[in-house]
Amino acid sequence: MSTPMTLDVWAGDWGLPSVDIQCIRIMMYARICGAPVQCRTVRTPFFSPSGKLPVFRHGSHTLTNFDDIAAYLHRKNFGPTQLVESQRCETVSYAAYLEEKLLPALLHIWWVNEKNYIELTRPWYAKALRLPFNFYYPGRYEQDAKLRLQSCYNGTPDEIETQVYNDAEQCLNSLSQKLGDSQYFGGNCPFALDATIFAYLAPLLRAPFPSNRLQNHLKNCRTLVEFCKRVSQLYFENSFNKYDAEKKKAEAVKKETDEDFPNQKRNWLGAAIFATAAMTGYLFSQGMLQISLQPQKSSAKRELGDDYEEIYLHEDT
């Protein structure tokens, strides 16, 4: 029996096979190559040689870098058979471009934007990580992201935010122009470059960020959205379809509830009126409630020792 190839990755969500860029990148590349890699979701990167995920293992080989894993799979006869060098060069070039222009914005969205970090990122990783690592890693990743942005950009936090989003939006526009009307960045068939670009775009497109300026910009790039959908259905069909089916079911339930709300409100109002009428009738029948049709003068009494003097509060006319 041959030794299995395994890949330890972060868990997936929102129709993604993983929420991590590098994990998705290697997962997709392995499927493009037809490599029999078994993906395993792990709940801590503590045992990784680099302290990060993904981790590729095959026999005595343990690799964590995309280029190293791609080269290893190629040596095992898993990989493109044509245009290897040109594809490799283009993938390396675009990977550097994405890391410089798009990655800082993704780090900001996930880890630096306070609203996203509090409402989405930290709770997600706190749930995905095993105790006690969920108390350590989110804070560490947050600090790493802030340090990286500060080392790449100058200015106040607001100025840095403006710069990283402007660079990222220009990057998305460039990717949209390069793709054009083609199905994939390599033409009619995907290769390593498609794996790299999809890994960057898919989490940005699918994660439900509360603060989502860059996500909205991506959604307006129609060709990139269609590209992500095409790749998801081709290589990660189970994750994609399962999430979309659950999402549509939840939306249908919400719509049905919203449509029933006016009827529910009418029923509640009718029940309240009936209960009030029934209580009022009971009080009348027991002599506990009477209605006088004779006008009466309102008065107040002022205490004077043991006697009272009645003082009228209105004048007779």
CATH code of residue 154: 1.20.1050
Structural domain for 99, as ranges? 5-249
Task: Indicate whether 127 belongs to any domain.
Answer: yes
In whole angstroms, give the CA distance from residue 273 to residue 278: 9
The two three-digit tokens of residue 278, written as one number: 């029934």
The two three-digit tokens of residue 167, written as one number: 């660079």
| Beta strands at 5-9 and 61-63: parallel, antiparallel or unpaired | unpaired
SS3 292: coil
Task: Indicate whether 280 belongs to any domain.
Answer: no
The two three-digit tokens of residue 273, written as one number: 């009126």
- b/e sequence 140-164, b meaning 16+ C-beta within 10 Å: ebbeebbebbeeebeeeeeebbebb
The reported pTM is 0.79
User: What per-residue confidence (pLDDT) applies to 299?
Assistant: 45
Task: Indicate whether 172 belongs to any domain.
Answer: yes
User: What per-residue confidence (pLDDT) applies to 90?
Assistant: 86
**Number of domains into which the chain is organized:** 1
Task: Indicate whether 230 belongs to any domain.
Answer: yes
Q: Where are the alpha helices (DSSP H) in the chain?
A: 21-33, 66-75, 84-101, 103-107, 114-116, 122-128, 137-152, 157-179, 192-206, 213-219, 222-235, 237-285
Task: Give the other-Cβ count within 10 Å of 246's Cβ.
Answer: 11
Enumerate residue ranges in the chain where pLDDT < 70. 1, 80-84, 252, 254-265, 281-317
Which strand (E) or helix (H) includes residue 62?
strand 61-63
User: What per-residue confidence (pLDDT) applies to 303?
Assistant: 46
Which strand (E) or helix (H) includes residue 38?
strand 37-41
DSSP state of 42: -
For 88, phi then psi, to 5°, come to -65, -45
Task: Indicate whether 303 belongs to any domain.
Answer: no
SS3 182: coil
Non-local (6+) Cβ contacts of 173 within 8 A are 221
The two three-digit tokens of residue 138, written as one number: 């989110």
User: What per-residue confidence (pLDDT) applies to 254?
Assistant: 64
Task: Indicate whether 34 belongs to any domain.
Answer: yes
Task: Answer whether 205's CB lies under 8 Å from 218's CB.
Answer: yes
Task: Indicate whether 312 belongs to any domain.
Answer: no
Give the CA angle between residues 204, 202, 42 to the nearest 5°: 100
Task: Indicate whether 70 belongs to any domain.
Answer: yes
